[in-house]
Structure 1
Amino acid sequence: MKSGKFLVTAEITPPKGGDPSHTLELAQNLKNRVHAVNITDGSRAVMRMSPLAVSAILLQYGIEPVCQFACRDRNRIGLQADLTGAYALGIRNILALTGDPVKAGDHPKAKAVFDMESVRLLHLIGKLNRGVDFHKNPMPDGATDLFPGAAVDPESRSWSGLQRRFERKLAAGAQFFQSQLISDFDRLDKFMNQIAAGCNKPILAGIFLLKSAKNARFINKMVPGVHISEETIERLEKASEPLQEGINIAAEQVQMARQLCHGVHIMAVKREELIPQILDRAGVQAVK
């Protein structure tokens, strides 16, 4: 990040079971194509392997992880235990998240915790980095040196709410931001110029691989705040190979983001092996 290079991260989900080999294969496919690989933490409240374990495995293969931490499933004791454990395992990059509601997932009757939310989690990471716990008691076995980031949604319906939340995360110590899915690049431009200007922290635009017109309509229906244009949906609908058209659209969006912000965060759910193709078509060279 300090180098000022255009940053590329990508997201993969942990396995739903005890065998990490497929997840590792996807991550290895991204090695030298992205700067870091995000490991999700119970995304959509679906049970999967611990992102802490997957991140530690990726480190063994020379892949830099961004370990996501959601507040939904842990109280402040558990969060501190896992954060200090992450540091001991060599994990440095943490994305602080509040977490999706339990009812959205595969265990809808599970008890949600939400002892904290993302801003307070950022403050907690700052305390651990200073060598104190949540209650500011000294930690006799040493401080952490974690690199915290946060999520941002430039397409939020409330502009004032977006600004307030972004400023709170900055003040809490966020060192980088990865955005939710971007479909309106005029809105991203406005966000960069009116809210993020002068913050001196990298903003990575969320690029989502649309696989078909049906997929795009599903996202419009199910993901709050996202509106994929009819023009884009028509492109996918008329294409002889919708998936390839989706790759073209994602590549075009990477190029647009390159003119507006510091990097991209690519999400290609269940087709992560296609991320290098997106980067190739966007003209983004391998990471050195």
Structure 2
Amino acid sequence: MSLQKKLSSKEFVVLAEMHTPKGVNIARLVNDARRIKGRVDAIVVPDMDNGIVRMSALAGGVLMRQEGIETVMHMYCRDRNRLALQGDAMAAHVLGIQNILVVHSEEMSQSDHREAQTVNDIDEVELLAALRSLSGGRDMEGFELDGAPAFTAGCTIAPYENDKELDKELELAKRKIEAGASFVITPPVFDMGGFEKFMEKAKGLAVPIIPTVFLLKSLAIAQYIANSEPGADISDELIRRIRKSPDRELEGIKIAGETIAVLRRAAQGVKVQTLGWEHKLPDILDAAGI
């Protein structure tokens, strides 16, 4: 069953994020994807996160399709103007990619190309509206297409530190949904109490909400997130659990698996994010009982 059909039928979906290589050696990407084929509903392919040059998400998505795995392709407004974005979207459809996640573009401060110029010709809401217009057979200027693509488009909610910021993000999410987003991806979940409060506020969005489960690879990463991202809600208890573990890497996998298992009762899916440790995805799915 396709991702779109599972979302429409309110079935639980499992997404796994996989980055393309910084180069053209696709062996690791393909091998990691093969190891979870049949265990996830789709692979999410980012497109040069943080301004780090990598093989394009379009190419990564096509590779996943060649392996028989459904793809969700990131699209940003940072690096392309409205012409290129519409062209890439139509190309994606022709190449078998029909799921697009419109994502907030990170600042270029962490880029490996510091002199690169941001574009931001249109914003996320406008891009979602453009995808809907393309699906209706017309481009952003209203010119008729020779054959219309079909997309299942989603959006994201950015990390937030307090209720005021959350309310702002939810209001923006409503605008994105009105523009054409049919599902929402949340920031990483580390505290179920906080997520339940989020869901209570977000229930008015009336679309599937898919929380992110982030693999805490080490104590240092957990501490960094806890200290630099207050809204992440990484508790002292969770930090102590990782610190006391004789195998901290395995503990992080267990925590991710446990989080997925709990979220199966609280959300309509999960997106598993490992940031370079995609080879650990099978272990996380094992820990989650998937």
TM-score (norm 1): 0.93
Report the alpha carbon displacement of residue 193 of structure 1 after superposing the two structures with TM.
2.1
Relative to structure 1, the CA distance from residue 224 to residue 131 in structure 2 (aligned partners, 3 Å threshold; closer, same or farther) is farther
Question: Per the alignment, in what secondary structure is the counterpart of residue 196 of structure 1?
Answer: helix
Alignment-mate amino acid for residue 38 of structure 1 = V
Residue number in structure 2 paired with 1:13: 19
Relative to structure 1, the CA distance from residue 40 to residue 143 in structure 2 (aligned partners, 3 Å threshold; closer, same or farther) is same
Q: Does 1:31 align with 2:37?
A: yes
Q: Is the 8 A contact 1:125 1:146 kept in 2?
A: yes
What aligned pairs does 1:202-241 form with structure 2 within 5 A after superposition?
Answer: 202-223=208-229, 225-241=231-247
Question: Per the alignment, in what secondary structure is the counterpart of residue 33 of structure 1?
Answer: coil
Question: Per the alignment, in what secondary structure is the counterpart of residue 234 of structure 2?
Answer: coil
Relative to structure 1, the CA distance from residue 156 to residue 101 in structure 2 (aligned partners, 3 Å threshold; closer, same or farther) is same
Question: Per the alignment, in what secondary structure is the counterpart of residue 137 of structure 1?
Answer: coil
TM-score (norm 2): 0.92
What aligned pairs does 1:1-288 form with structure 2 within 5 A after superposition?
Answer: 1-139=7-145, 141-153=146-158, 155-157=160-162, 158-197=165-204, 199=206, 201-223=207-229, 225-284=231-290
Report the alpha carbon displacement of residue 225 of structure 1 after superposing the two structures with TM.
3.6
Report the alpha carbon displacement of residue 227 of structure 1 after superposing the two structures with TM.
3.7
Q: Which runs of 5+ in 2 are unaligned?
A: 1-6
More helix by share: 2
Q: Is the 8 A contact 2:73 2:101 kept in 1?
A: yes
Q: Is the 8 A contact 2:189 2:195 kept in 1?
A: yes
Question: Per the alignment, in what secondary structure is the counterpart of residue 94 of structure 1?
Answer: strand
Q: Is the 8 A contact 1:206 1:266 kept in 2?
A: yes
Relative to structure 1, the CA distance from residue 126 to residue 224 in structure 2 (aligned partners, 3 Å threshold; closer, same or farther) is farther
Q: Is the 8 A contact 2:159 2:231 kept in 1?
A: no
Identity %: 35
Aligned length: 282
Report the alpha carbon displacement of residue 21 of structure 1 after superposing the two structures with TM.
1.7
> Matches of 2:242 and 2:123 in 1, distance apart?
37
Deviation readout 1:73-125 (Å, 9 max, x if unpaired): 00001101111111111110000113111122211221011112221111110
> Matches of 1:85 and 1:223 in 2, distance apart?
37
Q: Is the 8 A contact 2:102 2:127 kept in 1?
A: yes
Relative to structure 1, the CA distance from residue 173 to residue 224 in structure 2 (aligned partners, 3 Å threshold; closer, same or farther) is farther
Q: Is the 8 A contact 1:155 1:184 kept in 2?
A: no
Alignment-mate amino acid for residue 147 of structure 1 = T
Question: Per the alignment, in what secondary structure is the counterpart of residue 34 of structure 2?
Answer: helix
RMSD, aligned α-carbons: 1.6
Relative to structure 1, the CA distance from residue 212 to residue 99 in structure 2 (aligned partners, 3 Å threshold; closer, same or farther) is same
